[in-house]
Amino acid sequence: MSDTLSPAEAGKFAAAMASVAEIEDGMTVGLGTGSTAAWMVRALAKRAKDEGMTLTCVPTSERTAGLARALGLTVVGLDDVDRIDVTIDGADEFDGHMRLIKGGGAAHLREKLVAAASDRMIVITDPSKDVETLGAFPLPIEVIPFGWKGTEKRIREVLAASEVDGRETVLRMKDGAPVLTDQGNYVIDAHLKRIADPESLSMALADIPGVVEHGLFIGLCDTVIIGHPDGKHETRMHDQTPAWGDVIMELAALLPTA
């Protein structure tokens, strides 16, 4: 199949196929949203059917839920499970610390809730999403419709005090009307160009009244699978083991001084 795809889609397909190899019979799986995740859902459904696997799937959007059901997967809500073994999702950007920007499909609220309930989060992507510094992709910020202009003003105030290279905010529109998330909220896209301190910005945006969620995913992803146009893939794991130099410095700080 990958021979008939564009280079970008072939990369997404390769990553999706590699990711479903991580799934075992009996697992509860979070299903992401977006074009790359759609390939994963198709691949997962085929594997489950071919191998007679019993899986419980928690989708991150209504469109993913519809696709999964149509392909014969068992779909439940987040409140119907105690935990999720692994969530597989795409990303609009990721950096070397496995921090992500998500929300191009306006599903980042549910995506973050499902990822936070998971033991693991695997991101599937193509090489174009690999960045040194987050921010080239506009940061989606989900806000409630009531008083959204005031919320946008407060967002701009936070951005003015943040280490970013751009501060333009735009209400996401489609066909002349605001885009609505599955929760009935609006999305404001912040064109930041470069985010020097994603952790600080994440906390500052979360404190704004009216902001429901934003697309910075920090500390949630532990594995990235990058698919290439030739059908090959590479896997990057989050290294949670501190460098020995850091360990020695921490131990030295605990020693009594003369």
Assess contact for 178 and 172: CB atoms under 8 A. Answer: yes
Residue 144, C-beta contacts closer than 8 angstroms, at least 6 positions apart: 151, 185, 186, 210, 212
Per-residue model confidence (pLDDT) at position 110: 98
Per-residue model confidence (pLDDT) at position 245: 44
30: left (phi over 0), alpha (psi -120 to 50) or beta: beta
Element (H, E) at 16: helix 7-20
Look up the pTM and report it.
Answer: 0.89
Fold for 2-131+218-237, please state it.
Answer: Rossmann fold (3.40.50)
Assess contact for 88 and 58: CB atoms under 8 A. Answer: no
Mean pLDDT of 117-123: 98
Beta strands in the chain (DSSP E): 28-31, 56-59, 84-89, 93-94, 100-101, 118-125, 139-143, 168-171, 173-174, 177-178, 186-191, 211-214, 216-217, 223-227, 233-237
Comma-separated ranges of CATH 3.40.50.1360 domains in the chain = 2-131+218-237
Nearest 5°: phi and psi at 141? -125, 115
Confidence of residue 8 (pLDDT cuts 50, 70, 90): confident
* Segment 66-106, tens digit of pLDDT: 999 999 999 999 999 999 999 999 999 999 999 999 999 99
C-alpha to C-alpha distance for 195 and 201, rounded to whole angstroms: 8
* Segment 166-217, tens digit of pLDDT: 999 999 999 999 999 999 999 999 999 999 999 999 999 999 999 999 999 9
C-alpha to C-alpha distance for 59 and 164, rounded to whole angstroms: 33
Residue 43, C-beta contacts closer than 8 angstroms, at least 6 positions apart: 16, 17, 19, 20
Place of tokens 């990058």: 226
Q: Does domain 139-210 have CATH number 3.30.70.260?
A: yes
199: annotated active-site residue: no
Q: Considering 93, 111, 142, 213, which one is annotated as catalytic?
A: 111
Mean pLDDT of 159-168: 97
Per-residue model confidence (pLDDT) at position 242: 42
Alpha-carbon torsion angle 241, 238, 217, 41, nearest 10: -150
Comma-separated ranges of CATH 3.30.70.260 domains in the chain = 139-210
